[in-house]
Amino acid sequence: MPVIPHAGQMHKHHLTMSTLASPMSEYFPMHDVEVGNELFYYIFDGEPVAENGFLQLDDHKPGLGLTLKTEYLKDFNIVE
């Protein structure tokens, strides 16, 4: 039975690529949103961009292939 991971985050793209049970993955293209509505876009850099309906993941980047962004840190409050 096929499994289609929900939401377009990098860890789910890697899960999709690692098994034959996931023939596709949900993908959300990056777009302008106000800070806080789509947190993942603002804290990580390196999300792949779909071309002709396909994503290419870079096997040569460590981990999930993401890096932490710092440019928007001033827009977030850390609550302990």
pTM across the whole model? 0.61
Torsion, CA 44, CA 32, CA 77, CA 47, rounded to 10? -10
Contacts of 59 (CB under 8 A, 6+ apart): none
Helix (H) or strand (E) holding 16: helix 10-17
C-alpha–C-alpha distance, residues 9 and 26, integer Å = 9
Could you tell me the mean pLDDT of each successive run of 10 residues in the chain, 80 residues long? 73 80 78 64 81 85 85 80
Residue 68 parent element (H or E): strand 67-68
Q: Which residue has the tokens 């793209």?
A: 13
